């Protein structure tokens, strides 16, 4: 039995569930070692401790099943939807799931598979088990951290190549498309963690700005929020620049955000709460009078997903442990004027925090 299967078994016992059911998602991909695609056909893994797993899958995909990290009995179906329920019935019967309490992922699980299981397994109780699934990938291994570091290097090299184009008259859209192309050239997985954010001038004040046809102007803030993916693992980095010449106000706001970014990292160590990291960064911005312009949490977990546990919001009592990974991304956003965000990818070590990303953080004039 793999270490991943053992961890899932232990968590099922810890939280009082008899079984788990997963559909294509980061957790299923992590557990099986294969990337399964969510589609109209109900690819479904049923897992019960002490038994070989059951995989309900389209018949044409059966040949790939033996290569999974977790051994499974296969229950194939054809493209005739009227047969799919019978595959679920056989899988549930094989695992003895009648009357059992079954854990599913509330974020990723679909009503389609819920109906099939509910109809196929008598008297089962299907329960959203967010806490269980949140713990499954919470602590990264050294190998996973190596993949995340590689994803950061790819992203950083791609941005450096893209910055050669950043000058007045160039559009956000042109920069965004070049950044995507550069990440793919540098070795990113084809599926990026998210569409890059390129915000210039007043658009940089929107934390989730979409690229537009706005042309860069002298004196603009230029914000990039981007990330690559390597072997499924994500990077998520933000850097902000100034086009031409920076004003005193721009320098003040930039240095305030930079100090907040550094304060948050300095606060990271095992045993402190996730909320305390938000407190550390936010205190710097509050002290400069910009607290009302820092409008989001200081970070979020990172791994196979660009947003996952732990979430770094004020008051979050989750205790940090070695191997946890998350973003450190304070920001100040002044509507109709501009904004600054500086974001790094952080991992908790045995006694501190370490930044996986290392693109220069000091203000750079383009």
CB 21 within 8 Å of CB 102? yes
| pLDDT profile of the chain (366 residues), mean per 10 | 89 96 95 90 95 93 80 93 95 97 95 96 96 94 98 98 98 98 98 97 96 97 98 98 97 98 98 98 98 98 97 97 98 98 98 98 98
What is the per-residue pLDDT for 37? Answer: 86
**SS3 track for 3-71:** HHHHHHHHHHHHHCCCEEEECCCHHHHHHHCCCCCCCCCCCEEEECCCCCEEEEEEHHHHHHHHHCCCC
**Secondary structure (3-state) at 216:** coil
CB 313 within 8 Å of CB 329? no
> d(Cα 116, Cα 160) in Å, to the nearest integer?
49
What is the per-residue pLDDT for 357? Answer: 98
What is the per-residue pLDDT for 63? Answer: 80
What is the per-residue pLDDT for 170? Answer: 98
Tokens describing residue 298? 């200081």
What is the per-residue pLDDT for 36? Answer: 84
Cis amide linkage into residue 310, ω under 30° from 0: yes
Instruction: Report the predicted TM-score, pTM, of the whole model to 2 decimal places.
Output: 0.93
> d(Cα 25, Cα 6) in Å, to the nearest integer?
19
Q: Domains of the chain (ranges plus CATH)?
A: 3-136 (3.40.350.10), 142-355 (3.90.230.10)
Q: Which residues pair with 123 in a beta bridge?
A: none
């Amino acid at each position: 039995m793999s270490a991943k299967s053992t961890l899932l078994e232990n968590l099922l016992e810890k939280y009082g569930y008899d079984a788990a059911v997963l559909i294509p998602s980061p957790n299923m991909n992590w557990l099986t070692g294969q990337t399964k695609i969510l589609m109209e056909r109900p690819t479904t893994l049923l897992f019960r401790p002490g038994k070989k797993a059951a995989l309900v899958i389209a018949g044409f995909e059966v040949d790939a099943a033996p290569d999974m990290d977790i051994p499974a009995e296969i229950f194939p179906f054809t493209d005739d939807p009227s047969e799919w329920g019978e595959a679920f019935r056989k899988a549930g019967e094989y695992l003895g799931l009648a009357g059992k309490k079954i854990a599913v992922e509330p974020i990723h699980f679909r009503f389609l598979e819920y109906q099939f299981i509910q109809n196929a397994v008598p008297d089962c109780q299907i329960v959203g088990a967010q806490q269980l699934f949140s713990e499954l990938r919470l602590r990264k291994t050294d190998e996973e951290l190596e993949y995340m570091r590689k994803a950061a290097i790819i992203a950083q090299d791609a941005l450096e190549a893209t910055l050669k184009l950043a000058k007045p008259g160039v559009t956000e859209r042109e920069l965004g498309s070049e950044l995507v192309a550069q990440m793919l050239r540098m070795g990113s997985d084809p599926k990026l963690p998210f569409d890059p954010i390129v915000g210039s001038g007043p658009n940089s004040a929107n934390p989730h700005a979409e690229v537009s046809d706005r042309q860069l102007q002298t004196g603009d803030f230029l914000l990039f929020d981007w990330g690559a993916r390597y072997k499924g693992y994500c990077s998520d980095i933000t850097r902000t620049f100034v086009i031409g010449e920076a004003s005193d106000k721009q320098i003040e706001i930039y240095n305030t955000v930079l100090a907040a970014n550094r304060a948050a990292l300095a606060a990271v160590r095992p045993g402190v709460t996730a909320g305390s990291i938000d407190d550390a960064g936010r205190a710097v911005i509050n002290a400069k009078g910009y607290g009302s312009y820092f409008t989001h949490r200081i970070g979020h977990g990172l791994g196979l997903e660009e947003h996952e546990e732990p979430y770094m919001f004020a008051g979050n009592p989750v205790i940090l442990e070695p191997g946890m990974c998350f973003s450190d991304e304070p920001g100040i956003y002044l509507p109709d004027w501009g904004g600054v965000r500086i974001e790094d990818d952080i991992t908790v070590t045995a006694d501190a925090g370490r930044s996986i990303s290392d693109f220069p953080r000091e203000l750079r004039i383009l």
